[in-house]
Chain A
Amino acid sequence: MTGLRTHLAEKPWLWSFLAAALVWGLAVAFAGGHGGGEILTSALAFGTFTVIVGLGQMMVITTGPGNVDLSIPATMTLSGVIAMKVMDTDSAHMLIGILAAMGASLVVGIVNYTLIRLLRIPPIIATLSSSFLVLSTAISYGRGLRIKPPPPLAEFATVRMFGIPLAAIAICLLSLAVAVILKGTVYGRTVAAIGQNERAAWLAGLNVRGTRFATYVLSALLAGLCGILQSGFSGGAALNMGDDFLLASIAVVVIGGTSVAGGRGNVPGIWGAALFMYLLVTMLNIFGASPGVRLVMTGVIIIAVITIAGGERQTR
C-alpha cells in the first residue's frame, strides 16, 4: 500500500487512469458485464479529440499562471469549416484543404500572441476576445453550409484496427512526440522554466518571448488539427462543434496532473483524464441519469477528482 502511495506521489498521472478504470468498471458492472470492449473503443475514439486540444492547452498552462488558451473551440470550428469548404467533398482537394485550415489556425495563434505581447492583454482576455473574431469569421465564411468530408478523411477518422481507432493510434504517437519535446528539448525546458519563474528564465538566457509565441501557435495548430479530424469523424463541420472542448481541454490538463501554477506538464495524464471524462458521461448514461443530473454529477465528480488528486501538488 505504501509502495502504491509513493508511486502515486511520483507519478500523478496514474490517478487519472485509476479513476478512468474505476468508472469503466462501474459502468460495465451496471450493464451486467456486457459491452466493456465497445465502451472502451468509443472512449478512445471520442477521447482522442480531447487529447489533441489537451496537449496544446497543457503546453500553454505550463508556461505559467494566467496562461490559458480559450480560443480553442473557435479555432476548431474555423479550421473545420475551412477544411470542409475547400475540400468540397473532393478527395483530390484534401491536401490543400488541410493546408488552408492549418494556415488559418496558424494565423489565430499569431494573433493571440500578438494581442498578449504587443497590447499587453492578459491571455485569458486576449484568447477569449480573439475567439469571438475567429468564430464570426467561421460563421460568415461557412454560412448555411453542411458539406460532407471527402471519403478518405472520413475513413481515416473513423476506421478501427482490432477495435482501436486508427486516429487514436496516430494521436498516441503525437502525444509521445510532445512528451519527448517537453522533456528533452531546449524548447520544452524553456516552457517549464518560464512557468516556474519567467524573470529567472530570462536571466538564465532562455528565449522567453519566442517560446511563448511558439506555444500559443502550437496550441492553435493542434486545435486546427482537431477541427479537421472532428469534421471527418462526424460527417462535416458544425458551428457548435467546439463547444464541449473549452472546459474539456482545461479539465483534462488539470485532472491529468499538470501543475495549474505552471512549470510542470504531464502528457500521459491527459490520456487518462480524457478517457475518464468520456467514461464518466457513459456511466451516467447507463445509470439512466437525466441530462440535468448528468451535468451536475459531471461537475461534482470533476471537482472531487481535482481535489483528491491535485490538492497536494498545487500548494507551492
Chain B
Amino acid sequence: MSAEAIRLDGVEKSFGAVRALAGVDLVVGVGECLGLVGHNGAGKSTLMHVLAGALAPDTGRLTVGGIEPKTAWSSASSQAAGIRCVFQELSLCPNLSVAENARIVHGALSGFGWKARARTLIRTKLDEIFPGHGINPDDEVGDLPIGKRQMAEIARAFTVTSAPLRLVILDEPTSSLDAVTAEQLLAYIAKETARGTAIILISHLLGEILSASDRIVVMKDGKAVAARPAKTFDRASLMAAMGSDLNDVAVSEQLRPAPKPDAPVVVRARPSGQGAGSELIVHKGEITGLAGLAGHGQTKTLLQIFARQGAEVDGPMAFIAGDRQSDGIFDLWSIAQNVTVRSLRSLTRRGFVDPTAEAQLARTWRDRIAIRTPSMDNNILTLSGGNQQKTLFARALGSDATVILMDDPMRGVDVGTKLEVYAMIRAEAAAGRSFLWYTTEVDELTHCDRVYVFRNGRITEAIDAADLSEQRVLQASFAESGT
C-alpha cells in the first residue's frame, strides 16, 4: 500500500474499567473503501471517534498521508485534514435548516449570499447521491423523518468547499435508509472512491459490507482480529471471524408453527391516509410486518395504533423505538431504570416501586438479551448504540405488553444480537404475543406472517408469508406512484 490516507498504530483507550480499544492498528489507503465489522461494543465507534479527534487515545500514533500531525489531534485538525464523519447518533442541529447545517461545517460559506451558496451546495450533493430525495434545503431538520435526516447528514459529509476531502467515515449509514436509497448510497461510494476519497464503512448488514468494500477489517473486544481483501470473505467466514456461533443462525432459521387461523384479532387499524381501503389486522401470536420506502406512513401508523386513535387494540402495548435518542432513552437514568420504566406499575408494592423486584427484572434482562455492561446501575449513555437498543428491547419484552410495536428497531444492532432477537421475537410470538414490525431491511420481513406495504401513508398491498418476495415488496412500494 504505497499511498495511505490515514494510519493508526497501537491505539488504546479505556473508559474507567472498560477497555474499549486494546491496541488497534488500522490503515486506510487512498481511494479505498474499508469495511469495518464487529459486534456491538467491539470498539468500532470508539475507534472512529479517535480518528475524528473527538476522543483522545490513551496511547498510540496517528499519521495522515504518511505525515504525523504537528499539533495535538482534535476535531478541528481532523476536519482540516479532510476527515468527515457520519456517526450513528445523528449530529445535525434539529432547529436549523438543512442548508444552515451545511454552513456549520463549512467556514468558507461566509459573507453576502452564503445561504444561497449553502443551498446549492447541499442540493447538488443530495441530487448526486440520492436522486429523487425529496428534501428541500430549507426544511428544518427536526421536521424531517429519521431516514431523511440521515440522507442529509451523509450528503453534508461529502460536500467540499475549502478543505479537501480525504476520508469519510460512515457509521451505520444505511440503518435508517430503505433498500432503494441504501443502494443509491453504495453506488455513490464506488464513484467517490474512484475519485481517490477513502471511505470507512461500518455496517451490521454483511451483504452491504461484502459488496461495497475493497478490504474488510474485523474488530473484536477492542482489537482488529482480521484484515483481508473483501473478495476472500463470504457471509459465513465473516461471521466466524467476528466470533458469531453459526449454530445461532440455524436456530433462528427454524420454522415457527404458523399461528392458529382462528386466533382472535388483537389489532384492527386503518392508517389515517387510507380512504375506505384495506384495514390492518393482527391476530394473536402473529408477527406483522410494515414495509415500503422509509417515511411513507409506517411510523405514523404505529403511533396511531399506540395512541389507540382510529385503531382497536385488545391488550396492553409496548413500543420499541428505532430513533432511540428522541423516542426511547432517558439519558439521566441508569440502564436498569431505562429497562424497568415500562413495568413500574407491576413492580409497585403498597404504593412504592419495590427496589429488589426492580433490580431483579433488570438483571434478568441483562442476562437474557446480553447487555454488555459491568453494572446495570451505570448511566445508559455508557452503553454503545447497539446495547442501548437492546435496553429498549428489554424494556418492552420485560413488560406485561401483549402487543409489541417496533419502529425499525434494529438500528445499530450487530448480526449476532439480531439473530438472538429474531429468535426471541419468534418465541414470544409462539407464546401468544403479537408484533407489529416496521423495518427498512427487506430480509427481516421473512420473519413475518403477513406484510403490509405502505406508499404515501396508505397500505398498497398485504402479502402473506407464502407469497413474500423482495421483488413483490419493491413493486408494491412503488405502486400508484402518480399520487
Query: Residues of A with Cβ closer than 8 Å to B?
Result: 180, 184-186, 189-190, 192-193, 196-197, 199-201, 203-206, 259, 263-264, 316
Contacts and interface: CB of A to CB of B under 8 A. Distances in A.
Given A197-B326, A200-B326, A200-B328, A186 B317 contact: no
A205 B351 contact: no
Nearest to A262: B332
B342 A205 contact: yes
Contacts of A200: 321, 326-330
Interface in B314-339: 316-319, 321, 326-333, 337
A201 B332 CA distance: 13
Nearest to B345: A186
Nearest to B331: A196
A110 to B, nearest CB: 24
A13 to B, nearest CB: 16
In the complex, which of the residues A180, A190, A203, A316 has the most CB atoms of chain B within 10 Å of its own CB atom? A203
Contacts of B306: 203
B344 interface: yes
Counting from the closest, the 4 A-B pairs by CB-CB distance are: A203-B319, A184-B352, A196-B330, A186-B344
A203 B328 contact: yes
B325 to A, nearest CB: 9
22 contacts: A180-B352, A184-B353, A185-B348, A185-B351, A186-B348, A189-B341, A189-B353, A193-B330, A193-B333, A199-B327, A200-B327, A200-B329, A203-B327, A204-B319, A204-B342, A205-B317, A205-B342, A205-B399, A205-B401, A206-B344, A264-B332, A316-B332
B416 to A, nearest CB: 27
A199 B326 contact: yes
A192 B399 contact: no
A258 to B, nearest CB: 12
Given A196-B333, A205-B318, A206-B341, A186 B328 contact: no
Most buried by B among A180, A196, A200, A263: A200
A206 B318 CA distance: 11
A205 B321 CA distance: 13
Contacts of A189: 337, 341, 344, 353
B395 interface: yes
B434 to A, nearest CB: 16
Interface in B268-323: 306, 316-319, 321
A83 B93 CA distance: 52
A256 to B, nearest CB: 17
A186 B348 CA distance: 8
Contacts of A180: 352
B332 A263 contact: yes
B321 A185 contact: no
Given A186-B345, A206-B341, A197 B330 contact: yes
Contacts of B333: 192-193, 196
